[in-house]
C-alpha cells in the first residue's frame, strides 16, 4: 500500500510538471519503477498505459485553453505512432535500453543549457515573432522522440519540446501540441506492449492514472497564465536537471 501511495504522489507531481512545461512524467515515473526493481520493458509499458489517460486529459485541457497548433500536433503524432511501435518492439526484444540513455542525455543537457541562455538573454517575444516549424523537421523529430520514448520509458517531451522551442516555435503551443500528440503515440505504444508482453501489473498503473488525471487540468491553466519567457526558462532548467540525473546514474556502479 505504501508503494502504491508513493507511485500516486510521484504521478501527481510529475504530471503537474509535464502538463505545465511539456515533459517529465514518463522519465520520472520510469526512474521510480526501475528503482523499486521493475524491469525496463514492464516499467515502460506500465508508464505508457497510464499516459494513455493522462495525455488525453492533458491534451484536451491545453486544446480548450488555446495552447495548440494543429500542424505541430499532426506532424508529430503520425510519424510518432510509427516510431513508438518500433521502439516498443525493441524494448520487448532487447529488454534494456540503458546504453543509449547517457548519449541522449548528453545531447539534451547541451540543448537545455542553450534554451536557458537564449530565454534569459532575449526579451519577451511578441506573438507574431514566433515561427511555425517546418514539416520536414517535425516528422523525423516525432519519429525519433517516440522511438526513444518507447525503448527507454521516457523521452517524448524532453526531445520534442526543447527542440521546437529552440527553433522559435511558440512555447505554449508547443507544450499543448506535444501533450496532445503524445496521446496517440502512447496509445500505439501501449497496444504494442499489451500484445507483446505476457503480463503488466495493473496495480501500479492505476495510481499513476489517478495522480495524472488530478494534475492535468491544473497544469494546463498554469501554462496558460505564465509568460512565454518564463515557460522557456523552466523548460531549459528541467531538461538540464533530468539529463544530469540520468548521466550521474549511468556513471554509478
Question: Taking the domains of the chain in order of start, what are their residue ranges?
Answer: 2-251
Best-predicted range by mean pLDDT among 49-53, 113-117, 158-162, 225-229? 49-53
Q: Which three cell numbers stand for residue 234?
A: 523552466
> Which of the four pLDDT bands, split at 50, 70 and 90, describes residue 253?
low
Query: Which has the higher per-residue pLDDT, 184 or 28?
Result: 184
Q: pTM for the full model?
A: 0.80
Nearest to 51 by CA among 188, 196, 201: 188
Q: Which three cell numbers stand for residue 216?
A: 492535468
Q: Are 242 and 158 in contact (CB under 8 A)?
A: yes
Amino acid at each position: 500500500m505504501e508503494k502504491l501511495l508513493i507511485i500516486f504522489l510521484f504521478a501527481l507531481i510529475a504530471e503537474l510538471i509535464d502538463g505545465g512545461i511539456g515533459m517529465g512524467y514518463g522519465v520520472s515515473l520510469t526512474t521510480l519503477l526501475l528503482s523499486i526493481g521493475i524491469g525496463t520493458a514492464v516499467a515502460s509499458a506500465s508508464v505508457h498505459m497510464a499516459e494513455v489517460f493522462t495525455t488525453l486529459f492533458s491534451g484536451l485541457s491545453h486544446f480548450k485553453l488555446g495552447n495548440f497548433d494543429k500542424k505541430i500536433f499532426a506532424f508529430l503524432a503520425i510519424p510518432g505512432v510509427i516510431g513508438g511501435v518500433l521502439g516498443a518492439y525493441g524494448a520487448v526484444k532487447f529488454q534494456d535500453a540503458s546504453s543509449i540513455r547517457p548519449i541522449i542525455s548528453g545531447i539534451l543537457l547541451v540543448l537545455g543549457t542553450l534554451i536557458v541562455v537564449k530565454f534569459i538573454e532575449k526579451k519577451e517575444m511578441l506573438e507574431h515573432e514566433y515561427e511555425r516549424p517546418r514539416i520536414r523537421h517535425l516528422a523525423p523529430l516525432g519519429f525519433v522522440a517516440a522511438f526513444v520514448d518507447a525503448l527507454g520509458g521516457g523521452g517524448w517531451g524532453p526531445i520534442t519540446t526543447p527542440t521546437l522551442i529552440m527553433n522559435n516555435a511558440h512555447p505554449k503551443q508547443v507544450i499543448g501540441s506535444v501533450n496532445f500528440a503524445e496521446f496517440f503515440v502512447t496509445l500505439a505504444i501501449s497496444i504494442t506492449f499489451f500484445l507483446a508482453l505476457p503480463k503488466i501489473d495493473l496495480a501500479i498503473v492505476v495510481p499513476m492514472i489517478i495522480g495524472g488525471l488530478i494534475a492535468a487540468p491544473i497544469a494546463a491553466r498554469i501554462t496558460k497564465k505564465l509568460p512565454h519567457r518564463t515557460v522557456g526558462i523552466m523548460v531549459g532548467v528541467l531538461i538540464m536537471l533530468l539529463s544530469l540525473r540520468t548521466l550521474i546514474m549511468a556513471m554509478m556502479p
